[in-house]
């Protein structure tokens, strides 16, 4: 499996994965042998499974915080786009709208909690010695105590393929430096190490060992695990060993959620069955990190609204004009839609819902209803190419007060994103070799998925 390193300067955390050989400090890529599969829990940041769970914070406050982060994340997407003009299962833990993935690194193993992010590639974690580090609850990784840690020299190919790299002043080691749209940053050494995910042990994985990190990071995690389409991501580096397949099932956000979400790779990442629908991944889109789908329409009940948008990057030559007009992302809570189309969608909902229209007291969401009795929410269907995804009320509306319900899709003048609230209680599968994303209605809180 030929692998090259590409930069990822979009999001806040990352563990950068690249499989390499280390004989006599000569670096070359290699293919992993086929893996039956592994799974890991995805842990919701504000769930009881999270280190930072605070039972005194209301679910309404958690939701509003995650909504605000969605707008910040949208800005980072825009910045990145403009600047560029087998059975493996793991636990995913949501981190205020983001999901944390529990993995281990090094020999002996040290537990890491990194944001599982389909919008990023680079993988990094905080490391000792810390010249500047944000506070973290998980144990800080000390590379000097690991027998399998190897620093990457400056003349190795991966060093030249980082977004920004320099040669260490004291040693001939590759140093990386990444900054993000929200003024967060990470700096450190590029290194190879053993990564353990679920039951799978992955030797000689390339990652960023950060010694200077700061900004908006919080103490719940220590890094990011990139699941994007670029060559540095965990998914890309596993490559043929998992058949290019992974899937996740996100448990609905709840004040008292004692069930974790799941992310699965390889044979466990296959989504199939009579209720599964599949849509093509748009090809030849920049950057390769993001997963682009083609949304054709959204229906409110029987009223179909044709989706048109110019708020997405110009396609490469040979790509249909409307192809790849929305990004699917596990790390953005809200769904963002083009302003004109969004206005038509809101009008259709206002006509279909017999309830008092009110404003969001916190000014985050634009369409809210006050419940005087039981509100009947119409069926909303997202019509992707070849796949009609029927959304339930929990995918489209959130209860922000005891009697206040708000629409969780919002207007954007920049680009369109299909967020994680819209994906909850779906088994969402990515087949990168087949070039598809599949959706299957699923009770994600079930332990038998």
- Which are the catalytic amino acids? 117, 329
Contact call for residues 14 and 117 (beta carbons, < 8 A): yes
Q: How far apart are CA 19 and CA 192, in angstroms?
A: 8
Instruction: Classify the C-alpha dihedral 329-332-334-338 as positive or negative.
Output: negative
Q: How far is CA 56 from CA 255, 273, 320, 388, in A?
A: 11, 42, 50, 40
Contact call for residues 297 and 312 (beta carbons, < 8 A): no
Contact call for residues 47 and 41 (beta carbons, < 8 A): no
Q: Which residues contact 446 (CB under 8 A, 6 or more apart)?
A: none
Pick the closest to residue 271 from 434, 114, 104 (CA basis).
434
Contact call for residues 232 and 6 (beta carbons, < 8 A): yes
Q: How far apart are CA 314 and CA 266, in angstroms?
A: 33
What is residue 81's three-state secondary structure? helix
Pick the closest to residue 250 from 12, 50, 38, 446 (CA basis).
446
Q: How far apart are CA 393 and CA 136, in angstroms?
A: 36
Instruction: Number of helices (H) and strands (E) in the chain: give both, helices first.
Output: 5, 31
Contact call for residues 377 and 353 (beta carbons, < 8 A): yes
- Return phi, psi of residue 29, to 5°: -85, 155
Q: How far apart are CA 206 and CA 233, in angstroms?
A: 10
What is residue 68's three-state secondary structure? helix
């Amino acid at each position: 499996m030929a692998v090259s390193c590409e930069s990822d300067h979009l999001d806040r955390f990352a563990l950068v994965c690249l499989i390499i050989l280390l004989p006599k400090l000569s670096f070359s890529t290699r293919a992993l042998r086929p893996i039956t599969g592994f799974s890991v829990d995805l842990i919701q940041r504000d769930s009881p499974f999270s280190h930072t769970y605070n039972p005194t914070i209301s679910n309404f406050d958690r939701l509003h915080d995650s909504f605000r982060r969605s707008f910040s994340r949208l800005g980072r997407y825009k910045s990145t786009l403009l600047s560029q003009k087998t059975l493996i299962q793991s636990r995913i833990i949501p981190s205020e709208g983001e999901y944390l993935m529990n993995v281990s690194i090094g020999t002996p193993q040290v537990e890491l909690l990194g944001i599982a992010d389909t919008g990023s590639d680079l993988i990094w974690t905080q490391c000792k010695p810390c010249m500047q580090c944000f506070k973290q609850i998980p144990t800080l990784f000390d590379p000097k105590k690991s027998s399998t840690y190897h620093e990457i020299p400056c003349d190795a190919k991966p060093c030249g393929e980082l977004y920004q790299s320099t040669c260490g002043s004291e040693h001939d080691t590759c140093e990386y430096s990444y900054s993000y749209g929200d003024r967060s940053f990470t700096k450190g050494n590029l290194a190879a190490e053993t990564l353990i995910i679920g039951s799978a042990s992955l030797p000689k994985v390339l990652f960023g060992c950060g010694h200077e990190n700061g900004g908006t990071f919080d103490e719940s995690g220590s890094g990011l695990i990139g699941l994007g389409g670029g060559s540095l991501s965990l998914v890309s580096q596993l490559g043929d060993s998992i058949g290019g397949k992974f899937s996740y099932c996100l448990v609905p956000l709840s004040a008292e959620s004692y069930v974790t979400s799941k992310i699965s790779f390889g044979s466990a990442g296959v989504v199939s069955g009579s209720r599964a629908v599949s849509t093509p991944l748009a090809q030849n889109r920049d950057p390769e990190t993001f997963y682009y789908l083609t949304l054709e329409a959204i229906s409110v009940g029987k009223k179909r609204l044709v989706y048109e948008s110019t708020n997405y990057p110009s396609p490469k030559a040979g790509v249909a004009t409307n192809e790849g007009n929305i990004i699917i992302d596990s790390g953005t809570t809200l769904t963002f839609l083009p302003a004109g189309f969004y206005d038509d969608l809101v009008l259709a909902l206002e006509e279909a819902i017999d309830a008092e229209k009110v404003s969001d007291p916190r000014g985050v969401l634009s369409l809210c209803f006050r419940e005087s009795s039981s509100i009947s929410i119409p069926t909303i269907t997202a019509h992707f190419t070849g796949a009609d995804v029927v959304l339930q009320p929990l995918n489209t509306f959130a209860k922000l007060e005891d009697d206040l319900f708000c629409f969780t899709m919002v207007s954007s003048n920049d680009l369109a994103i299909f967020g994680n609230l819209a994906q909850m209680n779906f088994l969402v599968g990515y087949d990168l070799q087949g070039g598809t994303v599949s959706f299957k209605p699923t009770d994600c809180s079930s332990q038998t998925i």
